[in-house]
Amino acid sequence: MTQKLLRGRVLSFVAEPQGPEDTDSFVYHEDGALLIEAGKIVAMGGYEAVTSKAGGAEVVDHRPHLLLPGFIDLHLHFPQVQVIASWGTQLLDWLNTYTFPAEVGFADAAHANTMARAFYDQLIGHGTTTAMAYCSVHEASVEAYFGEAARRDMCMIGGKVLMDRNSPDGLLDTAQTGYDASKRLIEKWHGQSRARYAITPRFAITSTPAQLHAAGALVAEYPECFIQTHLSENKAEIAYTLDLYPQARDYLDVYQMAGLVTEKMFLGHAIHLEAREIDALSEMGAHPVFCPTSNLFLGSGLFDHSGLKARGIQSAIATDIGAGTSYSMLQTLNEGYKILQLQGQALHPYQAFHWITRGNAMTLGMQNEIGTLEAGSAADLVVLDARATSAMDLRMDAVTTLAQELFVLMMMGDDRAVAQTYVAGTPQKA
């Protein structure tokens, strides 16, 4: 098979950085290379060493740019591509005013397919190579989502939302029809090509107890699938949830009673948590997902990353398009840094870039497949240009270390800093 050799400054994490001095947590080659064959990384190292293994491989020279694993975004909404930047108040009003009306349109397969192409173009343009997304309640949206991922050979996770109450007529299923449709979609897509399925009750407010238990039945039948939903994003949401589920000890208990809380579960937001909920997350291994741009946009609150980490809870980080305001994981780090600063918590650039690559892959249990540039991993990677804008170029003239450069990228970078994105070894950015 044809080999390809990418040359540039190569950076890949091997462990979670413990602080600014932890240079053992990553591999960095100033003049590095990646040898790619059949969509996989065959070798990573210094250019001379890798070249000796390459034979007649095509060489693509990306110097002086950085080559990193592609970014991983673990909470966003595919049907909200045209909802982003919609003026609103807080969560529940925003959903009813903008999100639900937009999602009704995804019953139409042609519309869903058009939006899928646009959605994936945005991900690729911003350096994201794997994401976990909510589709709409319609099977057509899931078909469009996974069909487009298969055409691009992308490792993507997603699922049909389950919603049988407190939603417009065009977005309602039932406990039985939601179960049946999810089962069909799991059987068709989970494990096909690079697809993974996520069982997806939207959140407690839009599902009856019967539907959540049907979702729990799917979890029991398909334990290899992921589970995604929302938790404790907004205080009004929490109060409404507890009104709907008066028997629950707290919000998380709604999901626990249905058998949904496992180490495969991803809980968007998880801001306003009770002590018992934190204990349960720690014990059961479920993953909160930090969505900084969304939390700021909707005024939801501040995510306590350090507090959760101290309890051994492994959190993911994500854009939460379309309440989130940017597809860029770089801009997600920018806003995440500020939220943590407000709480006296530090986010060093080594830790930040680990989080959006290997760290998010670890929450999925997929760090041997994605999230690093180690031999055997998928050749999903991003090429970053820290001088992409005139302001960045001016700042970079004073930069003397790798950590400083990474900080420039996470504070000033966006899609303009993404020189190229590779999926399974193929350049995807036009």
Q: What is the residue-level pLDDT of the chain in tens, covering all 430 positions?
A: 689 999 999 999 999 999 999 999 999 999 999 999 999 999 999 999 999 999 889 999 999 999 999 999 999 999 999 999 988 778 778 888 888 989 999 999 999 999 999 999 999 999 999 999 999 999 999 999 999 999 999 999 999 999 999 999 999 999 999 999 999 999 999 999 999 999 999 999 999 999 999 999 999 999 999 999 999 999 999 999 999 999 999 999 999 999 999 999 999 999 999 999 999 999 999 999 999 999 999 999 999 999 999 999 999 999 999 999 999 999 999 999 999 999 999 999 999 999 999 999 999 999 999 999 999 999 999 999 999 999 999 999 999 999 999 999 999 999 999 999 999 999 999 8
First to last CA, the chain: 25
How big is the CA angle at 64 (ends 156 and 17), to the nearest 5 degrees? 55
Please give the backbone phi and psi of residue 404, each rounded to the nearest 5 degrees, phi first.
-65, -40
User: Measuring CA to CA, how many Å separate 357 from each of 70, 300, 319?
Assistant: 7, 26, 14
For residue 68, what is the DSSP state?
Answer: E
How big is the CA angle at 311 (ends 309 and 314), to the nearest 5 degrees? 45
**Cα separation, 66 vs 418, whole angstroms:** 10
**Cα separation, 87 vs 84, whole angstroms:** 9
User: Measuring CA to CA, how many Å separate 365 from each of 45, 264, 301, 314, 346?
Assistant: 25, 9, 28, 11, 25
- pLDDT value at residue 422: 98
For residue 160, what is the DSSP state?
Answer: P
Inter-residue contact 16 to 51 (CB < 8 Å): no
- Within 10 A of 113 (CB to CB), how many other CB atoms are there? 17
User: Residue 410's closest CA among 339, 335, 345, 318?
Assistant: 335
Query: How long, in residues, is the chain?
Result: 430
Dig out the tokens for 299 from the structure: 């005024």
Q: Sign of torsion, CA 62 63 69 70?
A: negative
Burial of 275 (0-12, 13-18, 19+ CB in 10 A): exposed
**Cα separation, 380 vs 72, whole angstroms:** 10
Q: Sign of torsion, CA 283 221 256 200?
A: positive
Per 3-state DSSP, what percentage of the chain is helix, strand, and coil (rounded to 5)?
A: 45, 25, 35
Inter-residue contact 123 to 131 (CB < 8 Å): yes
Inter-residue contact 260 to 251 (CB < 8 Å): no
Strand ranges in 296-394 using DSSP code E only, listed in sequence order: 316-317, 381-384
3-state secondary structure of 106: helix
